[in-house]
Amino acid sequence: MNVLVIGGAGYIGSHCVRQLIEAGHRPVVLDNLVYGHRAALGEGVKFYKGNLEDKETVGKILDAEKIDIVMHFAAFINVGESVQNPIKYYRNNLSGVVNLVEAMIERGVKKFVFSSTCATYGMPQKLPLTEDHPQLPINPYGQTKLDVENFLKACARAYGLSFVALRYFNASGAAEDGTIGEDHSPETHLIPLTIFAATGKRPSINVFGRDYKTRDGTCLRDYIHVDDLCRAHIAAFKNLEIPSSGSFYNLGTGTPNSVSEIIRGVEEVTGLKVPVVYGPRREGDPDALYANSEKAKAELGWEIKFNDVREIIETAWRWHKNNPDGFPKE
């Protein structure tokens, strides 16, 4: 199938492009390269540089490439920034999707895969988190993702759209061959930040709080390998054959690791010492956050390959060791 991958030059999108090719699909990428990297895409991948604000261009791509399915990875994801600049997040994360889906509906393209987030749940009331947990986001980032989910429900009822929304936990790791991986600016994810502290690219790793009600006092999070996430996206295609349908799935391992365990894991994998600076808790950080992903396993046949966080760290280290400055700059 011809698959339009919005944000396909970004971290998760570029890994998904590879898997689409391996699965026999033809990916077409639309990315504005604000955070993505053209070098993350292999030779021969059809690429368009553009924004979802330009609905006319999106429509021309849908027509010219005879698109069957659209996948969306183009959201802004910095929680703190979303609090400081909510207009930026609502314009990109919500308005951009409205433009995209409107262009799709006008052309009869009605299959959509959306990368959502566990941030739609807000503070956990019970663990592990299941898909029926109340959705009460506590920041604009999570709210925009929930708003898109509700928008997609409305479009399914009104226009026959079929969609799948995949609620990620902590995406992490890199391609096993070390050729693509995380290269964010600024970087906010724990594993690469800890690797940077180990290699001297930054002076230390900051740990916010060590008095949580966890096994070592630091926060517990669910780290899921980026390639495992991508496998779920492609497995979800079968759900799109049902008109006017919407499906929601958590994607995590269900086995949380603490911040301190990640730091120790990076030290063990790299053989380097990680300088640590401890500080007070950040507002809104729950003690623990991890998934129940049994629904995805049962309904999609999804299987997790990377169950051990050390294996995830090993793939991240392979990427950063081989590419200390990230992707070549455009």
Q: Which CATH number belongs to the domain containing residue 24 in this structure?
A: 3.40.50.720
CA distance 290 to 169: 7
How many C-beta neighbours within 10 Å does residue 2 have? 16
- The mean pLDDT value for 133-141 works out to 97
> Is 329 a member of any domain?
no
Q: Is 236 found in the same domain as 97? A: yes
pLDDT band for 42, please (50, 70, 90 cuts): confident
* Catalytic site residue from 11, 141, 223, 249: 141
Can you give the pLDDT at residue 135? 98
The answer, yes or no, to whether residue 245 has pLDDT greater than 90, is yes
Can you give the pLDDT at residue 46? 97
- The mean pLDDT value for 108-131 works out to 98
The answer, yes or no, to whether residue 205 has pLDDT greater than 90, is yes
What pLDDT digit, counting tens, does each position of 309-330 carry? 999 999 999 999 999 999 997 6
CA distance 91 to 29: 21
Q: What is the CATH number of the domain that holds 212?
A: 3.90.25.10
> Is 312 a member of any domain?
yes
> Is 184 a member of any domain?
no
> Is 185 a member of any domain?
no
Q: Is 24 found in the same domain as 155? A: yes
Q: At what angle do helices 259-270 and 309-322 cross, to 10 degrees?
A: 50
> Is 300 a member of any domain?
yes
The answer, yes or no, to whether residue 11 has pLDDT greater than 90, is yes
> Is 69 a member of any domain?
yes
Q: Is 277 found in the same domain as 162? A: no
- The mean pLDDT value for 86-100 works out to 97
> Is 178 a member of any domain?
no
Q: Is 152 found in the same domain as 46? A: yes
The answer, yes or no, to whether residue 284 has pLDDT greater than 90, is no
> Is 328 a member of any domain?
no
- Residue 292, judged by CB atoms within 10 A of its CB (0-12, 13-18, 19+), counts as middle
Query: For residue 258, what are the domain limits?
Result: 190-222+254-322
What pLDDT digit, counting tens, does each position of 163-193 carry? 999 999 999 999 999 999 999 999 999 999 9
Q: Is 201 found in the same domain as 153? A: no
- Residue 211, judged by CB atoms within 10 A of its CB (0-12, 13-18, 19+), counts as exposed
- The mean pLDDT value for 232-261 works out to 98
Q: Is 261 found in the same domain as 128? A: no
Question: What are phi and psi for residue 98, nearest 5 degrees?
Answer: -60, -45
Q: Is 154 found in the same domain as 46? A: yes
Can you give the pLDDT at residue 329? 79
Look up 249 and say whether it is catalytic: no
pLDDT band for 283, please (50, 70, 90 cuts): confident
Q: Is 233 found in the same domain as 218? A: no
Can you give the pLDDT at residue 330? 64
Can you give the pLDDT at residue 148? 98
Q: Is 9 found in the same domain as 125? A: yes
- The mean pLDDT value for 294-322 works out to 98
Provide the number of structural domains found in the chain. Answer: 2
H or E segment to which residue 157 belongs: helix 140-159
Q: Is 52 found in the same domain as 89? A: yes
Q: Is 241 found in the same domain as 218? A: no
Tell which residue, 239, 240, 234, 232, has the closest CA to residue 291: 232
Q: Is 122 found in the same domain as 44? A: yes
